Amino acid sequence: MSENIEMEKEQTVQEELETTTEETVEETQVKEEEPKKEEKKGFLKKGNKDKARIEELEKKVADLEGRIAKDKDDYVRLMAEFENFRRRTSQEKIDLVSMASTETIKGLLPVLDDCERALAVLKNSNDSDAAKEGTELIYHKLLAYLQGKGLAVIEAKNEVFDTDLHEAIAQIPVQDEEQKGKVFEVVQTGYTLNGKVIRFAKVVVGI
């Protein structure tokens, strides 16, 4: 009887020990799992924060790239406008110089006309050869100087009448069929300056 009681006690103690051990293991597992859960939660929170930070940085990068592209476009446009302005200014200066030169040369054309008239008069006069040679020398020197600046005589005598070069001031009947529609006589010499007509040749045209 006493032995049975002892055995029952031992069995009870053993069961209590097993129960206690199981509870301790469960508690230990729970305690071990709790930090892992907290660590996982912290990792998820950190991941969400990093993702939000990356999205924010990507947005800032996109904004900066847009601003850079706009600034580059504005710079290119500004440089193009400046280049156009520089070219216009340079062309205006060239045109101004050319216009001043043209006006100066046009102002000397009457002097050439006077020289031509003087040569024509001297040719049919009894004046000395020195006067003729002197006048001819002055005329050719002035003409050569102006030709160096781009002046050219418009050829008109016996040429086909051209409204782009000639100005008809009279018409005259001609017997020769080949002379019809051509310049019969030059009343005033015409000139071009660098290929541009500055004075039309005044002519008589055969009809």
Q: For residue 155, which amino acid is it?
A: E
Question: 124 in a domain, yes or no?
Answer: no
CATH number for position 161: 2.30.22.10
Q: How many CB atoms lie within 10 A of CB 202?
A: 17
Q: How many CB atoms lie within 10 A of CB 126?
A: 5
Give the structural domain span for 169.
151-207
Last residue of a domain, one of 45, 76, 109: 109
Helix, coil or strand: residue 167: strand
On whether the CB atoms of residues 185 and 166 are closer than 8 A, the answer is no
Q: Is 164 found in the same domain as 96?
A: no
Q: What share of the chain is helix, strand, coil (3-state, %, to 5)?
A: 70, 15, 15
In terms of pTM, does the model score above 0.85? no
Question: 134 in a domain, yes or no?
Answer: no
Place of tokens 């305690």: 31
| 160 contacts: CB under 8 Å, gap ≥ 6 | 181, 182, 183
On whether the CB atoms of residues 168 and 161 are closer than 8 A, the answer is yes
Question: 74 in a domain, yes or no?
Answer: yes
Question: 141 in a domain, yes or no?
Answer: no
Q: Is 203 found in the same domain as 104?
A: no
* 8-state DSSP, 160: B
What is the residue-level pLDDT of the chain in tens, covering all 207 positions? 555 555 665 666 566 656 655 556 556 565 555 555 555 565 556 667 778 888 888 888 888 888 898 888 888 999 999 889 888 888 877 777 777 788 889 999 999 999 888 888 888 777 677 778 888 899 999 999 999 988 999 999 889 999 999 999 999 998 888 888 899 999 999 999 988 999 999 999 988
